[in-house]
Amino acid sequence: MFKDLFTIFIASAIINNFVFTRYLGLCIFFGVSKKMETALGMSMTFTAVMVISAALSWLVYNLVMLPLHIEFLKIVLFIGIVAGFVQFADTLLKKLNPTLYYKLGIYLVLITTNCIILAVPLLNTDNNYNFLQSITLGLGSGAGFSLALIIMASIRERLELANIPKPFQGMPIAFIVTGLIALAFLGFSGMITI
């Protein structure tokens, strides 16, 4: 049982890393990886939202949608769950802990329409995971995304000072750097198959 969960965690964090092998969440990945500080804030918020939305959507899918045979509505419902939860967390955080809200609030808004957050529940239902497995997939994906963001942020802080040809400044060079990191991550492929 724990071996199984550990496999899912490692597989989703490193081997099937969302950014480098599945190309999801690129918008946020390129958007917030310019500075280490924002990258760290984003990774923490992201992981928390991911785990909780994986848990919530598993409950809704298995307790509501399956008994009622409305699986075909899963896209609509999952995005509703994520958006609703993010809005709720936003309001709650503003009331309970304003300092933390001013630090992380901006990321919460960005998260609502992010591909990874929606992809985790969809993958969970595609693979028929149970509750613990779903949460582990959310946690592993969050850890993988944080790892990607931190690697990228530390490289991009250096890139600011580098002498890059004019047409490649900004996004193009960021893409090429990501390609190089993805090449390194390719070395993990085939280590575990799920």
Partner 1 sequence: MAASYKKLILNGIFSENPVFRLALSLCPAVAVTTSVRNGFLMGVAVLCVMTMVNITVSILRNLINPKVRIPAYILIIATYVSITEMMMRAYSRTAYKQMGLYIQLIVVFAIIISRAELFASRNKVLPSAADGFGMGLGFLGALVLVGAVRELIGKGSIAGFHITASSPLLIMVLPTGGFFVIGLLMGLFNWIDQRYYGGRPGGGGGGHH
User: Between residues 99 and 126, which has the closer beta carbon with respect to partner 1?
Assistant: 126
Residues 6+ apart with CB under 8 A from 57: 77, 78, 81, 82, 121, 124
Rounded to whole angstroms, how far apart are CA atoms 49 and 133? 16
User: Between residues 27 and 97, which has the closer beta carbon with respect to partner 1?
Assistant: 27
User: Between residues 21 and 62, which has the closer beta carbon with respect to partner 1?
Assistant: 21
In the chain, where does DSSP find H-type helix?
2-10, 18-21, 26-32, 36-60, 66-68, 74-96, 98-111, 115-126, 131-159, 171-185
Shortest gap between Cβ of 182 and partner 1 (angstroms)? 4
User: Between residues 2 and 72, which has the closer beta carbon with respect to partner 1?
Assistant: 72
User: Between residues 80 and 98, which has the closer beta carbon with respect to partner 1?
Assistant: 80
Shortest gap between Cβ of 176 and partner 1 (angstroms)? 4
Shortest gap between Cβ of 159 and partner 1 (angstroms)? 12
Angle of helix 115-126 relative to helix 36-60, nearest 10 degrees? 40
Shortest gap between Cβ of 184 and partner 1 (angstroms)? 9
Shortest gap between Cβ of 99 and partner 1 (angstroms)? 25
Output b/e per residue, 24-61; b: 16+ Cβ within 10 A. bbeebbbebbbeeebbebbbebbbbbbbbbbbbbbebb
Shortest gap between Cβ of 93 and partner 1 (angstroms)? 20
Residues 6+ apart with CB under 8 A from 25: 18, 19, 114, 115, 116, 145
Chain residues in the site for partner 1 (CB under 8 A): 20-28, 30-31, 72-73, 75-76, 79, 83, 110, 113-115, 118-119, 122-123, 126, 165-176, 178-180, 182-183, 186
